[in-house]
Chain A
């Protein structure tokens, strides 16, 4: 079955890099995602990676995928106060291509 885990909290100083980690269990995942949730709002897709890739870069965001260890990470370079939010990783797998979310990592950026 699907299970996605993340650490609950990360605190970084403004200007530093943030690395948010995620592990998943379903080896048949086709896509993996990172979402961002601003306070009081719904989730918005930040970026995604195909399961046959090991890295994707999109401006300040770098996604690394270690398929062997079923480990996904999101690196945010030059973290800003506006990056403070909850970040969710998710995987898409199975016959119905169900999307399963982790519990979210709350990123706090200290000025």
Chain B
């Protein structure tokens, strides 16, 4: 069966420090991968979307970047965090083909920039 791992679960970082959030998927190949951010009590904002290794679409201009060094690994990064980067970050994957077609979410990372 397929599983998605996202870590860490919580993170407190000072302004100006770097960030690296990692997401890995098991049990499938060539997934579509997504990074979302959710401000407190608000909806989802799609940050990055990837259809393959090295193929990243950025949905909104921002202080963050994403990379996909392997088929099932998706990394969200920042060189210098801003206070406005605080939020709940969710990684997700969806299959390109197959019976199960929906998106599956990780448990999220709560990032607080202080």
Chain B residue at minimum C-beta to C-beta distance from A2: B46
A48-B101, A98-B51, A103-B42 provided; 15 other pairs, C-beta below 8 A?
A33-B102, A33-B103, A41-B107, A42-B105, A43-B44, A43-B103, A48-B102, A88-B44, A96-B51, A97-B95, A97-B101, A101-B46, A102-B43, A104-B44, A106-B41
Count of A interface residues, CB-CB < 8 Å: 26
Residue B106, interface by CB 8 Å: yes
Chain B residue at minimum C-beta to C-beta distance from A104: B43
Name A's interface SS. Answer: strand
**A→B interface (CB under 8 Å):** 6, 8, 30-31, 33, 40-45, 48, 86, 88, 90, 92, 96-104, 106
The residues of B that contact A88 with a CB separation of less than 8 Å are: 43-44
**B→A interface (CB under 8 Å):** 32, 34, 36, 41-46, 49, 51, 88, 90, 92, 94-97, 101-108, 110
A102 to B92, CA, bound (A): 15
Query: How many residue pairs between the two chains, A and B, have CB atoms under 8 Å in the bound complex?
Result: 69
Q: Could you list 7 examples of A-B contacts with CB < 8 Å?
A: A42-B106, A43-B44, A90-B103, A92-B94, A96-B32, A97-B32, A98-B94
A70 to B88, CA, bound (A): 30
Residue pair A98, B101 in contact (C-beta under 8 Å): no
A92 to B94, CA, bound (A): 9
Residue pair A96, B96 in contact (C-beta under 8 Å): yes
Residue pair A31, B102 in contact (C-beta under 8 Å): yes
Residue pair A30, B101 in contact (C-beta under 8 Å): yes
The residues of A that contact B36 with a CB separation of less than 8 Å are: 101
| A92-B101 CB under 8 A given contacts A42-B106, A86-B43 | yes
